[in-house]
Structure 1
């Protein structure tokens, strides 16, 4: 393959979500031509799938500066920075206009199937870094194409690969066979058909993050209505309940995020949900009525439920990057230098200092995983983090190392910081191994909390396509 000089080629960005489009805007700002390949039929395809959920970040925190600079000449103005957009607002009022400004630089209906070095599989060393990247993708009509690139930024997110209910990381026995009663998304209870599915029913919610908080709050709101009488949640937690279970509460510097945990606590306190702790699902069975019975690794069998909502996080799809030499942490599947900062085995802070191209680099020079995908299997990602990542990466690709190394962001604290975040450990151990200060204790609720806020993106994703 006779390739043109690498610097004459575009930078391929995989995914037209918040991080991908922001990456394109920063590349344009650096005088570099981007080509964004989006598998969906519209920009922000994943965000549109949770259009009904409200972000816990304000407009002022989810608009990238370079993107706003690119939009300004069109007459675009950012909505009130103090208000909270829904996923639909974010997609329609920001992501789509940004994609429109980028024009032909964004190709929708383009599913990336492989990335490699032109003429070099992952084994070959000879002149490897002198070769451009080659990106294979499939169009919606099934036609296969390829494009050469000087660099590749993978901002495809993790939305399409949710984690299963099984405590081992594999689907629980019977989980696939019960697919008609299981969802891996926060349900839209404003949709009449979806509402009817859960109204008056007993629903298990498996998970402990902001998505689980959201689902519990939604089910509690449904239970408080006339048509939702009898709606009951069963909150299935792999850990016990502690001061940090419900998030940072009033100590969270993102108030709407803190309110989510308080709303989940209210659902339990008011009896709209029962909590089952220390339960790691091994099997999903059906009783004689066709209802689902969750069976734990310890042999416990929970009372039958009508529906199950699995919100156990997401994981990256690395299959199309298999010919690249990536440096990924063996546990999190995140870049090796970033993993210690976000590893929930070590801490539950949910806050990581701003980072950029150095932490996101790989042995394969010129390829970067950004946005939610950069976190691998770790949770608690913010759009602001993704925007700072792509700013630094774009500067590095442009050769402006000084700017790439400069930190230009201060992230809000979660209000939660109390030691290992995956398994319960003795108090003394947690105190010794904690990442910061002990987790704050939530205040007792004197009145029901009713909030419409939700996480940055359900189950931890915010910056994927």
Structure 2
């Protein structure tokens, strides 16, 4: 007796794009329910993107970055669980957890060196309605050997993250004129100052650090440490918004203590004079000044000259290979429409997000989910635990266990600060139109900021 199309689809694996923390957690959650995953990773091993920032220490402990389903899968293999209250680096996370997890899933379930170049319903472009939901998904792959393949799947979980598409310097979301030609002097990553060659690049030099998130804080703190050993090292900190009470995060009120401490270290770097802040500065162009660079703002202000630029202006999802799928994305954040209101930095800056799962992550195209960082679109402050809860819920939904999919099994830490929008650009106008104190913003222009508060 021949099988039905539905039975044929059910026999196919669930394609998981990306062998990072959330992709592997999703695969583990699927295996826990007896559903076969097929993990497709463009890099040569598990956690390829994580390894690129392997020198950076997480502000979450081991207890907070190990997925429950993954731990169950790893336990019988003799895996040694790291001490839960310590903080791993990215390299630790990849070596001691992600690669062992990928190995535990089994070689046939995790493929490396394969890049997904397109996803569609088999035989149906995004226009066609007829028979659409009866068709499996087809994923087009480009291999490291230069060949092309196609694989079929019953569902698609895209956990490919946003690491490969950093935001540009330009304040309008596009590369600023001169940005591409100055690419040899611009980095979009947190530099590893333990590397002698990288250290020499920034030692004794003036570096513009553009951004106001955890990555920028990490760089400000690292350059301040370098300045103590290498005189002349200085950071010109460029913020698109102003300085306010929540600029440096939750501090000692943060329920993730290492995250709060990171903000306090950045604040200390400014107070010690190792960094000078320029606020309300949206880059319109990058110009050469001899061997150095100058940033030009849309209001005509000029910052520089500087020797190097580190642009940490956020990340964004690559949606190009999903173009033949019917996704329901928020027009601003490029996140699923039901998730966007929970994370919209135009509304709040506290970084607290209610746990969410398959229902909020669903799209008009059934059985397609964006997980992990990619589910946040352009919004910041994603926590691994959020992605693990997403993975658990989606695996339950694909198994038909809608009660478990709807259940919340996660309590997230709060920052301790919810002080209004994190994206305000304009300083508050005081008498005579000058910038006043208070509110979310400080006066535009270079300033040595005196900040009060406890240091650690």
TM range (shorter): over 0.9
* Deviating 4+ runs (over 3 angstroms): 424-428
1:10 match: 13
Q: 1:83 aligns with which of 83, 86, 107?
A: 86
1:266 aligns with 2:274: no
2:412 match: 411
Indicate the larger mover: 74-83 or 397-406: 74-83
1:25-424 equivalences in 2 (<5 Å): 25-103=28-106, 104-225=108-229, 228-288=230-290, 290-424=291-425
Q: Distance in 1 between matches of 2:30 and 2:385?
A: 17
Q: Distance in 1 between matches of 2:417 and 2:360?
A: 24
Q: How far did residue 425 of structure 1 move?
A: 6.5
| CA deviation vs aligned residue, 1:96-150 (integer Å, no higher than 9, x gap) | 0000011220000010000000111100000111111011111100111111100
Gaps (5+ residues) in structure 1? 429-437, 450-465
Q: How far did residue 414 of structure 1 move?
A: 1.1
- TM-score when normalising by structure 1: 0.91
Q: Distance in 2 between matches of 1:351 and 1:107?
A: 35
2:436 match: none
Number of equivalences: 433
Q: How far did residue 77 of structure 1 move?
A: 2.8
**Root mean square deviation, CA, Å:** 1.6
Q: How far did residue 78 of structure 1 move?
A: 1.6
Q: How far did residue 165 of structure 1 move?
A: 0.6
Q: How far did residue 427 of structure 1 move?
A: 7.6
CA contact (8 A) 2:245 2:419 kept: no
| CA deviation vs aligned residue, 1:410-461 (integer Å, no higher than 9, x gap) | 0000122112221146889xxxxxxxxx99xx983566x5xxxxxxxxxxxx
CA contact (8 A) 1:266 1:445 kept: no
CA contact (8 A) 1:20 1:156 kept: yes
Q: Distance in 2 between matches of 1:210 and 1:426?
A: 22
Q: Distance in 2 between matches of 1:270 and 1:445?
A: 14
| CA deviation vs aligned residue, 1:148-196 (integer Å, no higher than 9, x gap) | 1000000000000000011000011100000000000000000000000
Q: How far did residue 229 of structure 1 move?
A: 1.6
| SS of residue paired to 1:16 | coil
| Higher relative contact order, chain-length normalized (CA < 8 Å, sep 6+) | 1
Q: How far did residue 345 of structure 1 move?
A: 1.0
Q: Distance in 2 between matches of 1:188 and 1:66?
A: 32
